[in-house]
Amino acid sequence: MHAATIVPMRGPDFAVDGPALERHLHAVAARPGIRGLLVNGHAGENFVLDRAEKVAVVEAARRVVPACCLIVSGVNAESSLEAAREAAAFEAAGADGLLVFPPNSWALGHDPACVVLHHRTVAAATSLPLMLYGAPVGAGAMAYDAATLRRLAAIEQIVAIKEGSWEVAQYEANLRLLTGLRPDFKVLGSGDEHLLTSYLIGSVGSQVSLAAVVPDLVAALWAAAQAGDWARARQLHEALYPLAVAIYRDAPGGRATARLKHALHHLGAIPDPRLRPPQPPLDAAERQRVESALRHAAL
């Protein structure tokens, strides 16, 4: 179970709040059942942080999380050359692995050869193992088709995928394809709304931001699934489901990080829920939905 963490910010300049970041990373990583962190992911606002700030996030994680906790850093850049520079810098800062995000411009369409070249350029810049990001099926061309996944799986340095297709049939198709090509390939589900379903179909774990908000609940769901206690797993799923919907499904879906930060602030885990522009704060209705879902999860 890997928790995708956020980056607390403060003041009118939206600076990274270093002490609050370290407290957040330590608190999540210290929970039983959490075996890794994803830093500099979408929840970590990697698209509005510069490279130096993202390096500082990795360094903070390395300082405060247990040595047994895997640190995976997201690599997110429009330029393959900048993505390679990020990869090298994150390795030097102490990351154990890297998650390579597709550039946002790919949503408009691209040559599949771009995908392979981008990942090969990153791989050449680091000795770390790489993870693919399986984008939601609603993200257009950012979601890799079967032919592209076959080409990416041929790159030995790529060992896993954060499978975020957010559609159960596609999740299973990608799982079967990748593990059929390479039985040792690791598929970690990242569809917070259908974790239970992914565990029934097959998974080696999850890499999700809900685990940064309710780590004990998410870890308990995974433990119940591992034990084959599906009645308990269904009970935990019922507790988690409204929170997953409130954060991810309720329109507009791009507000997930704002909702995660509000949830953590509401729970007293971070001092300030602010996000960098262009994301505005939550309105009253959004706050109410998140808080209601937290109450449903018995928090």
Give the catalytic positions in this structure. Answer: 133, 162
Q: Any idea which residue has 């680091």 for tokens?
A: 126
Nearest to 206 by CA among 194, 223, 189: 189
Q: Give dist(CA 15, CA 17) in Å, integer.
A: 6
With left for phi above 0 and alpha for psi between -120 and 50, is residue 188 left, alpha or beta? beta
Q: Give dist(CA 270, CA 264) in Å, integer.
A: 6
* Lookup: tokens for 130: 């790489």
* Lookup: tokens for 28: 């999540």
What own/partner pairs with CB < 8 Å and gap ≥ 24 does 231-234 have? 233/196, 233/199, 234/196
Contact between 233 and 221 (Cβ < 8 Å)? yes
State in Å, rounded, how far the first CA of the chain is from the last one. 20
**DSSP 8-class letter at 247:** I
Report how far apart, in Å, the C-alpha atoms of 180 and of each of 84, 129, 149 are: 29, 20, 12
Q: Where are the beta strands (DSSP E) in 137-265?
A: 158-163, 186-189, 207-208
